[in-house]
Structure 1
Amino acid sequence: MNIGEVLIENIPQLWMGMVGILLNSIVVGTLFGKRKYDWFFLVICSVRFIIYNIGFLAIGNAMYGNETWYKITMSTFATVTALGVGIATAVLWQESLAKTLTGILAAECVNDGIVYQAISLNILPILEYMGVFIVFTILYFILRPLMKRYRSYQLKHEVVCLTGVLGFFGIGWFSNFLYNTSASLRERPMQMVADSFIIGGGGALIIAFSIYTIKIFKRKEQLEVNRKRMEEYYSQIQNQAGELEEIQNEMAVKLDELSNLSVSSKKRKKAEI
């Protein structure tokens, strides 16, 4: 197998993959706004593109495309790295995991829809690229005000959103796993889909609730720490207030003494006169 020939054969798909990364980076950048490490998403997606799209989909598929272990490994790697990109971005940007994954998944779905729709037209590559950029530009400027509002939007049901996103990846991965490992389930696609939804969706729900529970306990610990700090702060204020009161009392005594001295001094002067 000649790697160069494999890459040349896959140039259209690789170019579209690069276009997809660019479009996703633009949309995600608009959704989350200016960040300290706003370049991170583009860089990590590019690294994933090199490893997954070039390494697995292009070269690996040409070498081991018919092997069951390869199909499972490829889908597993795709799922893990896709989630890894979202998790790493959320951590680095200090953003809610549910909000980050939801935004990235929405951008990915819309942009991939545009790209794959262009590919399905079977026209010249240059026309595909032009069509993708024209459609993307129109949709981008129409939806840009709405996307900017996402920056300050607070998800009210984080567990539901996180379950949906994780379920999307979990169901996709598990259905692929069952399809490649069970010949009997391939003949019963509806049961395979049902099993995927039950196990993949159930697993996603458990993970989402676990993450949310951990978050609640961390928030509770932080509130306890804040409460203790406030108690110490109020205690210090009370101590300082007590010290101020003592100083005021001492000053009042000194003022009384000065007043008495002034009165006695005036009486003495009158007596001398």
Structure 2
Amino acid sequence: MPDLAYINHDQQIVELTEARLPVWDRGFLFADSVYEVIRVYKGKAFRYEDHMERLKHSLKEIRLDFAVFHELEVIIKELIKQSGYTDAKIYIQITRGIAPRNHAFPEKTEPTLLVTIEKAKSLPESVVERGVKIISSEDIRWSRCDVKTTALLPNVLKKQLALEQGAYEVVFIGPDNKVRECSHCNIFMYRDGLVTPPESQHILSGITRKVILEIAERLKIKSLQVDFGLEDLKSASEVFVTGSLSEIVPVVEIDDSVVGNGRPGPITKLLIEEYRKITREQY
């Protein structure tokens, strides 16, 4: 089946390549919009309620009134059904709507809802088994990274920089020299326990991050949400990054420093195994 899209102004599901939006949509003109990406396993949206809670937070913070969440759930289920995909990714974007270009909020406009479904593309297993390199870079993003907006140009530029340096990802370092997150992933290290930066306005509250912390608690793996520096990260015995689409990716090199013994560590492997049990077997 083809990838599909739904736009509320048209009230119909079409092939993704046929979907159209007006050029005056504020999501296009100003990135005046928020979004979510949800992984589908076995034909079901994974941690759907968690994603909706985060979406509601983003909408509230940009003062965008959108209340038709029941309809959104119906649309997502229909997209999954019509696509026939059992392993997929759902993309949701809500913009402030269509209006002549003006920085101020338009007085009367209906939000635009775009929902797409595409077949999931997992990382090659060889990449997960081998691990990846990441680089560090100053955080040039805005100060409300807890809001999942489509204003991602800083992330795009830094991700491209990482690729040009032969790396998988970039980890952002704040002006206080503290580790924050990556361009599209949260980050963890293992140093006498699992450690990840605390929730704040400088990081996105990742859904996979949340699941990992739940798994750690169940397995009685000590975990901390505390600030730490780049040198702490480089001297950790294990490092990995997490995201809804990439899941858990071991990091074996940061800049020119080898992490641990240069191979994915036992805690990372255990968490990958447990995460896959939840998403592939139990879910």
What TM-score do you get using the length of structure 1 for normalisation?
0.22
Larger Cα-atom Rg? 1
Structure with the bigger percentage of strand: 2
What TM-score do you get using the length of structure 2 for normalisation?
0.22
Structure with the bigger percentage of helix: 1
